[in-house]
């Protein structure tokens, strides 16, 4: 992986991580288009630069996230994270196989886009405007929705958790913010596991260039994610999900055609 490729991948990660369009799918499409080899460092890079995205949420919401008078928020995030932690371990082989199947992810990208066209109409009487008002039961159910992104790579973790939040009567903005907070333990867990797997299976993998690429990737993902989150909240509050749905349908269809004609 060159420095230019690392920069492009980090920009894609920063833009897509918190939008309901699947960062995983976009990273796979981008890597494939640029001809990046599927090697241990590529997987480590893709998972590790999520750390930069995590920090962006903490920085943007630091007053609320570090309000230790509301410790129940942390408990709710742990409760919501439990389903993903369990299923992620149990279905690791399935997940790894699906991540190798670009056509499958393109189909899920398209179908997920169709679903987003109807989300605003399906959940239009929501009343919970503050994530502090989310109960433990609702937190767990949102965590169960997150499983859609695990068993169906390309669905989008953000889409799954925001839809789950809206199904549990959160407003679009509140559901998006809970999704951002839930990303912290979820992505941190994936990051820690990636580092551990690297240490365990390929301890000599990281060269000085690799470390520089990881540092650069995290920095860029952090900066871009901050802009993406602020823009997304504003756009989502005003316009809803339809634009993201149309984008996913077009993108999924294009990827399917490129694969069908052996271009991708």
Mean pLDDT for each 10-residue chunk of the chain (264 residues)? 94 95 93 87 88 92 82 92 90 80 94 95 86 93 94 93 94 93 90 80 81 94 95 91 96 95 86
Q: Which two tokens stand for residue 259?
A: 């694969």
Say how many CA atoms lie within 13 Å of 135 toward its Cβ. 5
Q: What is the pLDDT of residue 203?
A: 76
Q: Are 1 and 46 in contact (CB under 8 A)?
A: no
Q: DSSP assignment of 1-22, as one string?
A: --HHHHHHHHHHHHHHTTSTT-
Report the alpha-carbon distance of residue 144 to residue 135 in Å, rounded: 14
Task: Report the predicted TM-score, pTM, of the whole model to 2 decimal places.
Answer: 0.91
Name the DSSP class of 91: T
Q: What is the pLDDT of residue 92?
A: 76
CA 126 to chain centre: 24
Report the alpha-carbon distance of residue 17 to residue 99 in Å, rounded: 16
């Amino acid at each position: 992986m060159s420095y230019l490729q690392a920069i492009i991948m980090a920009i894609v990660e920063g833009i897509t991580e918190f939008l309901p369009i699947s960062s995983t799918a976009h990273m796979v499409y981008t890597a494939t288009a640029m001809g990046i080899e599927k090697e241990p460092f590529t997987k480590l890079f893709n998972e590790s630069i999520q750390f930069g995205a995590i920090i962006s949420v903490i920085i943007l919401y630091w007053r609320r996230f570090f309000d230790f008078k509301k410790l129940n928020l942390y408990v709710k995030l742990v409760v919501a994270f439990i389903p993903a932690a369990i299923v992620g371990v149990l279905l690791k082989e399935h997940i790894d196989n699906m991540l190798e199947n670009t056509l499958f992810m393109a189909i899920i990208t398209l179908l997920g886009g169709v679903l987003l066209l109807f989300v605003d109409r399906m959940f239009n009487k929501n009343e919970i405007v503050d994530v502090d008002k989310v109960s433990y039961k609702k937190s767990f159910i949102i965590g169960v929705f997150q499983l859609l992104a695990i068993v169906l790579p390309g669905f989008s973790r953000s889409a799954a958790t925001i839809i789950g939040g809206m199904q549990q009567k959160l407003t679009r903005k509140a559901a998006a913010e809970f999704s951002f907070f839930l990303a912290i333990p979820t992505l941190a867990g994936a990051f820690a596991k990636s580092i551990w797997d690297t240490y365990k299976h390929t301890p000599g993998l990281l060269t000085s260039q690799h470390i520089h690429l990881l540092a650069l990737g995290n920095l860029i993902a952090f900066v871009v994610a901050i802009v993406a989150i602020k823009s997304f909240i504003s756009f989502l509050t005003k316009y809803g999900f339809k634009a993201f749905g149309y984008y996913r349908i077009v993108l999924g269809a294009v990827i399917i055609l490129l694969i069908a004609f052996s271009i991708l």
